[in-house]
Amino acid sequence: MTDTTSPAPSVFTKIIGGELPGRFVWADELCVAFATIAPHTDGHVLVVPRQQVVSYVDASDELIAHLAIVAKRIGRAQTRVFDAARAAVMVVGYEVDHLHLHVLPIRAEADVAPAAARHDVPAAELDAAMERLRAGLREDGWGGNVPAALGSPALA
């Protein structure tokens, strides 16, 4: 049997728990979605299970299905609010030992290349992009899953 949890809390577990800051656009009982600090495009988020599962292949089928549905809902909002042709979903998993799906609006395949990541995006720009996405999710009828505050995964 594969050990599905890390011995120490991951950086994502610390973000979800409020020990580190995050910019949240989605929250439910199984997962959250928040801005990556190295976005490829405006609106790039990570969909992360609340449970610290190390790898995609270690997660239950039910959890993977739920993450995929949330990624689709976010992707639909991203394509509209960021005027993108498509939404891309990637599972890479080397940066942090905590399963996460990258969901990002793209205009070309080059948008998902590793070199496309921007590491110097000002906080105000990240905040603005996430607020646009939060508004888009509300417009799509998912307001019940948009956290009350950008910096918290709490719904109330």
Residue 151 falls inside a structural domain: no
Residue 74 falls inside a structural domain: yes
The CATH number of whichever domain residue 55 belongs to comes to 3.30.428.10
Residue 154 falls inside a structural domain: no
Residue 75 falls inside a structural domain: yes
Number of folded domains that form the chain: 1
β-sheet bridge partners, residue 49: 31
pLDDT at residue 114, rounded to an integer: 86
β-sheet bridge partners, residue 106: 86
Q: Say which residue the tokens 């993977």 belong to.
A: 64
Residue 84 falls inside a structural domain: yes
Selecting among 66, 100, 102, 119, the annotated active-site residue is 100
Mean pLDDT of successive 10-residue stretches along the chain, which has 156 residues: 62 96 97 96 98 94 98 98 97 90 96 90 95 96 95 87
Q: Which domain holds residue 120?
A: 11-145
Cβ count near 133 (within 10 Å): 28
pLDDT at residue 121, rounded to an integer: 94
Is 119 part of the annotated catalytic residue set? no
Q: Determine how β-strand 45-49 pairs with β-strand 86-90.
A: unpaired
- Rg for the chain (alpha carbons), in Å? 14
Phi, psi of 35 (to 5 degrees): -65, 140
pLDDT at residue 7, rounded to an integer: 58
